[in-house]
Amino acid sequence: MSNYHPLTEPEAIQIAQSIPGIFEPQGELVSREIGDGNLNLVFHVSQPSSGRSLIVKQALPYAKVVGESWPLSLDRARIESEALLIEARLAPGLVPRVYHADHEMALTVMEDLSSHKIMRQGLIDGGTYPLFAGHISEFLARTLFFTSDLGMNQQEKKTLLGSFINPDLCKITEDLIFDHPYTDADTNSFDDHLRGDAELLWNDAELHLEVALLREKFLTHAQALLHGDLHTGSIFITPESTKVIDPEFAYFGPIGFDIGAVFANLLLHFASQEHWASDESSRGARRQYLLGTVRDIWTSFDNTFRALWDEHGVDRVAKPKAYQDDYMRRLLQDSIGFAGAKMVRRIVGLAHVADIDRIPDAGVRAKAQRIALAIGKSLIKNNRKTSSIDRLIDIADSAARG
């Protein structure tokens, strides 16, 4: 019988006290539940006298955002802690340190990153992060290459894949990203002024074909170990440092899904500039910064992934340059298609983004939402025709111009 139960704040303190080397022996600990995500409890445990702290994160057996009517496997906590350990090995310094994991209690004790900001909020506050493109492309290239058939022993990969079977969390993505936004589903949630835009999505055969192809890739293409939910709420940031958190959606899937998630969230923020920028000229500058970041991420990812392949490739059959070029072109196309799907879902689906939802004026919000939908739909429809990141930049620019 399992001992699992949701932790209280005093229990989070007890667990924190059992971790060696963090707190001073004397000095009271204080615990606060700070989880503001959709799924988990997050306790911040600190020792005011020493200024030391850590995080105790615990999965709930249901989706917090909906309630107990939506049960979710606790195994996602094991998946998250194991993914963090793999990511720490492959991309050192780019994820929080894991101090302890208890799979039965579905909890992970990890480094507190309160010195950083959640990137979504950082962007909303007008922050710029000049090192981000380099950091995230390094994270993406190293974690994805070294867990793919290009960069790891192919039999060991099959065994590792068995530890990352994540059906409940994949089902969330399959439904909320690749299905519900394209039909009149109960889970959808959108402002009344978007009903006409939603109906267009539900009746667009060209879009439905591309979404079905992307969904098929998500269901079947076990290319590498993905983070699985790499939006700007899963990234802690400062101008100097980037830490990727929350890989509870990790599973073996198509590489472009992670890259597309980063693109999508930068582009959602691009669309939200209708409100957050103070005037036309700062809006233009901010948008150029965001598009420049997208471009830098792709360029740097492409260079790093190819360099890893040339230096550490394990597969003789994968050596031809023409194969590498073809593979990278397909990764770009997938990234663009998945980015589009991830934008559309954040406007009409269940889970939205603060960048856009926090725009107080309904007219301005509608404009931002329509820019996001226009970019999202165009990325989806054009993904298989794309051969350069410039195409994404053009699509975003022309959607913003209207």
Residues 6+ apart with CB under 8 A from 217: 253, 254, 256, 257, 334
* Contact between 308 and 148 (Cβ < 8 Å): no
Number of residues that bind Mg ion (CB under 5 A): 2
Sign of CA dihedral 176, 178, 183, 189: positive
Full DSSP string of 281-294 = HHHHHHHHHHHHHH
Instruction: Build a one-symbol-per-residue string for 293-332: x at contacts with ligand SR1 by CB under 6 A, - elsewhere.
Output: ----------------------------------------
To ligand SR1, the closest distance from the beta carbon of 169 in angstroms equals: 8
User: Site residues for Mg ion, window 18-37 (CB under 5 A)?
Assistant: 37
- Structural tokens at position 102: 């208890």
Q: Is 326 annotated as a binding residue?
A: no
Among 77, 109, 176, 353, binds ligand SR1 (CB under 6 A): 176
Cβ–Cβ contacts within 10 Å for residue 50, how many? 14
* Contact between 67 and 75 (Cβ < 8 Å): no
38 binds ligand SR1 per the rule CB under 6 A? yes
AA letter at 46: S
- Structural tokens at position 194: 């978007």
Q: Is 112 annotated as a binding residue?
A: yes
258 binds Mg ion per the rule CB under 5 A? no
- Among the residue ranges 45-53, 170-178, 213-221, 310-318, the one whose residues contact ligand SR1 (CB under 6 A): 170-178
- Among the residue ranges 20-28, 73-81, 137-145, 168-176, the one whose residues contact ligand SR1 (CB under 6 A): 168-176
Q: How many Cα neighbours within 13 Å face the side chain of 247?
A: 28
172 binds ligand SR1 per the rule CB under 6 A? yes
AA letter at 169: L
User: Site residues for ligand SR1, window 362-381 (CB under 6 A)?
Assistant: none
- Among the residue ranges 19-27, 172-180, 210-218, 382-390, the one whose residues contact ligand SR1 (CB under 6 A): 172-180
Nearest-CA neighbor of 77 among 50, 51, 42, 49? 42
Among 138, 246, 258, 334, binds Mg ion (CB under 5 A): 246
Number of residues that bind ligand SR1 (CB under 6 A): 10
65 binds ligand SR1 per the rule CB under 6 A? yes
φ, ψ of residue 237 in degrees (nearest 5): -145, 150
DSSP for residue 359: -
Q: What Å distances lie between residue 90 and 94, 99, 378, CA to CA?
A: 9, 18, 34
To ligand SR1, the closest distance from the beta carbon of 38 in angstroms equals: 4
To Mg ion, the closest distance from the beta carbon of 73 in angstroms equals: 15
Q: Smaller CB distance to ligand SR1: residue 106 or 150?
A: 106
End-to-end Cα spacing for the chain: 59
Q: Is 71 annotated as a binding residue?
A: no
To Mg ion, the closest distance from the beta carbon of 124 in angstroms equals: 18
Residues lying near ligand SR1 in the complex (CB under 6 A)? 38-39, 63, 65, 172-173, 176, 229, 350-351
Query: Which residues form the interface with Mg ion (CB under 5 A)?
Result: 37, 246
